[in-house]
């Protein structure tokens, strides 16, 4: 380490002595670059020795683009994955000069270096993310991204060069929106989402689509407005089709496997806690595509956990709208549960299976609830029919009619409690509302009709009982089909 420190001191002195020698400065900066990439201790000593300040001056004051490019690359290596060195350079002055570099017309290699420097400044740094937006560096990167979207029209000779620039720009944009999540930057980056989906739909190259899928996932993560924009611009359909095409290949190599996981992660980020997107995904058979992906992946693959979690999120919104998992798909989960040794994956699979059980229990409970309601209405109709028969008896059996009226009232109270109690559902309440409506149409309140009471406390007339019977019959006939599962 002492030898390295001595080398740094000598090289910094050389920078001061070579102010007017562009070739010498470039050579010295390249040597510093090779040293700074060794370890964190070297970065620390370089900062404490004033190296960041000296190289930053070269970056901002040099008129040679070659020296500027070498200085940016040296600074990027000096701050990469080093919070203290990063914070020393995250200021308005640095981003102002970086904006000039990105906005002026330079070579692709120069822009690639500037993009890499931007990425190192904003990664895991909220202050850097905000300065990138306020200094227009983020807007510059988005404009360059649009220009690179014509990569499919580039000649074969420049393809690799453009691809490197494409990857560098995408990495810089990812750093601007993620860790921590920056909603303002996400909103700005969402303007190129339609362009991303257009390229994904037209291209099959992993090198092009992979960075785009990663960018989409980070730009929409935790941002409902951006998630909605994905759906509105056809992104869900595009990514789902792209995933299905990738799975149709007979064998997934390692690169193919990583690519389908990028698609899955982007889809998952686009749907998390977004009910409308999940409904769209389910309607287009997305859940079964995820199971096809799960079956294609190696069980030891790290992405299996993400796929299972995505399935769990989708199932949260499947109730009352779409069918739950097939028995074959549940069998896949159970098989995976018995074979895996990952605790996280075990918990995720158990959560998905519990979702399936809740769906099944919910459907069973609803059917049982409706059966009880039908039974209560049938019972009440039978009581009314029996009371009408009692009307035909002679006056000497008035006591029997009174007893029957009390029993009828008790049955009515039981039905009312069942339909309007704390455990009732909206369907049960609709039954009572219909009964009220039909009874009121005949000029009698529900209580008066069911109790069969007149002003002198006697059993109501036959016409009123017929009104209730008709009301309940209509309710059972017209309302029950709506209540069916």
Contact 318, 279 (CB under 8 A): no
Q: What is the pLDDT of residue 434?
A: 54
Contact 151, 162 (CB under 8 A): yes
Residue 476 pLDDT > 50: no
CA distance 326 to 151: 43
Q: What is the pLDDT of residue 454?
A: 35
- Reported as a pLDDT band with limits 50, 70 and 90, residue 477 is very low
Q: What is the pLDDT of residue 385?
A: 62
The pLDDT tens digits for 443-475 are: 444 444 444 433 333 334 444 455 455 545 544
Contact 204, 241 (CB under 8 A): no
The pLDDT tens digits for 306-322 are: 899 888 888 887 764 44
Residues whose CB is less than 8 angstroms from the CB of residue 111 and which lie 6 or more positions away in sequence, other chains included = 101, 102, 144, 165, 169
- Enumerate the β-bridge partners of residue 453: 459
Q: What is the pLDDT of residue 445?
A: 45
Compute the radius of gyration of the chain from its Cα atoms: 36
305 vs 451, residue with greater confidence: 305
What secondary structure, in 3-state letters, does 402-451 show?
HHHHHHHHHHHHHHHHHHHCCCCCHHHHHHHHHHHHHHHHCCCCHHHHHH
Q: What is the pLDDT of residue 401?
A: 45
CA distance 122 to 447: 71
Q: Tokens in use for 122? A: 């904003």
DSSP 8-state assignment for residue 453: B
Q: What is the pLDDT of residue 321?
A: 41
Q: What is the pLDDT of residue 482?
A: 37
The mean pLDDT value of the chain amounts to 78
370 vs 306, residue with greater confidence: 306
Q: What is the pLDDT of residue 328?
A: 82
317 vs 57, residue with greater confidence: 57
Q: Which of 192-201, 401-410, 421-430 is most confident?
A: 192-201
Phi-psi group of 444: left, alpha or beta (phi > 0 → left; psi -120 to 50 → alpha; rest → beta) = beta
For 226-240, what is the mean pLDDT? 95
Residue 421 pLDDT > 50: no
Least trusted range by pLDDT, from 256-260, 320-324, 371-375, 457-461: 457-461
For 126-153, what is the mean pLDDT? 89
The pLDDT tens digits for 155-183 are: 555 677 788 888 999 999 999 999 999 99
Q: How far is CA 12 from the centre of its chain?
A: 49
Q: What is the pLDDT of residue 324?
A: 54
Q: What is the pLDDT of residue 203?
A: 81
The pLDDT tens digits for 262-277 are: 999 999 999 998 999 9
Residue 97 pLDDT > 90: yes
Q: What is the pLDDT of residue 71?
A: 94
2 vs 335, residue with greater confidence: 335
- Reported as a pLDDT band with limits 50, 70 and 90, residue 21 is confident
- Percent with pLDDT over 70 in the chain: 69
Q: What is the pLDDT of residue 38?
A: 62
CA distance 224 to 230: 10
Q: What is the pLDDT of residue 118?
A: 97
Residue 252 pLDDT > 60: yes
CA distance 175 to 463: 78
């Amino acid at each position: 380490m002492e030898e390295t420190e001595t080398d740094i001191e000598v090289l910094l002195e050389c920078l001061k002595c070579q102010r007017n020698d562009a070739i010498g400065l470039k050579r010295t900066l390249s040597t510093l670059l090779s040293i700074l990439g060794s370890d964190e201790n070297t970065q620390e000593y370089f900062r404490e020795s004033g190296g960041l300040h000296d190289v930053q001056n070269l970056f901002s004051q040099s008129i040679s683009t070659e020296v500027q490019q070498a200085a940016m690359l040296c600074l990027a290596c000096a701050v990469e994955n080093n919070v203290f060195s990063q914070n020393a350079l995250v200021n308005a002055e640095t981003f102002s000069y970086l904006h000039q570099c990105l906005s002026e017309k330079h070579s692709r290699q120069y822009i690639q270096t500037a993009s890499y420097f931007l990425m190192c400044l904003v990664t895991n740094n909220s202050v850097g993310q905000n300065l990138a937006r306020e200094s227009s560096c983020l807007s510059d990167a988005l404009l360059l991204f649009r220009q690179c979207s014509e990569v499919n029209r580039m000649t074969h000779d420049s393809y690799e060069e453009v691809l490197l620039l494409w990857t560098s720009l995408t990495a810089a944009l990812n750093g601007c929106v993620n860790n921590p999540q920056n909603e303002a930057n996400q909103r700005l980056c969402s303007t190129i989402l339609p362009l991303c989906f257009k390229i994904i739909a037209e291209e099959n190259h992993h090198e092009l689509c992979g960075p785009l899928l990663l960018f989409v996932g980070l730009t929409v993560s935790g941002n409902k407005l951006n998630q909605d924009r994905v759906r509105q611009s056809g992104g869900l359909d595009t990514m789902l089709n792209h995933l299905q095409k990738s799975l149709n290949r007979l064998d997934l190599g390692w690169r193919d496997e990583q690519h389908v996981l990028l698609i899955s992660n982007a889809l998952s980020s686009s749907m998390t806690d977004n009910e409308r997107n999940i409904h769209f995904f389910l309607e287009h058979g997305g859940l079964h595509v995820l199971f096809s992906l799960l079956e294609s992946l190696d069980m030891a693959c790290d992405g299996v956990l993400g796929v299972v979690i995505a399935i769990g999120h989708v199932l949260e919104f499947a109730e009352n709208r779409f069918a739950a998992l097939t028995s074959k798909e549940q069998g896949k989960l159970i098989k995976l549960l018995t074979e895996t040794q990952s605790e996280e994956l075990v918990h995720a699979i158990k959560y998905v299976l519990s979702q399936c059980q809740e769906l099944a229990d919910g459907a069973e409970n609803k059917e049982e609830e409706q059966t009880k309601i039908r039974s209560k209405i049938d019972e009440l109709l039978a009581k009314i029919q029996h009371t009408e028969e009692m009307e035909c008896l002679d006056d000497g059996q008035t006591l029997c009619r009174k007893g029957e009226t009390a029993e009828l009232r008790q049955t009515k109270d039981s039905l009312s409690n069942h339909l309007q109690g704390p455990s009732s559902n909206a369907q049960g309440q609709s039954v009572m509302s219909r009964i009220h409506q039909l009874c009121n149409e005949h000029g009698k309140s529900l209580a008066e009709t069911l109790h069969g009471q007149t002003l002198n406390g006697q059993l109501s007339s036959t016409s009123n009982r017929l009104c209730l019977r008709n009301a309940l019959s209509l309710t059972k006939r017209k309302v029950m089909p709506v209540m069916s599962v």
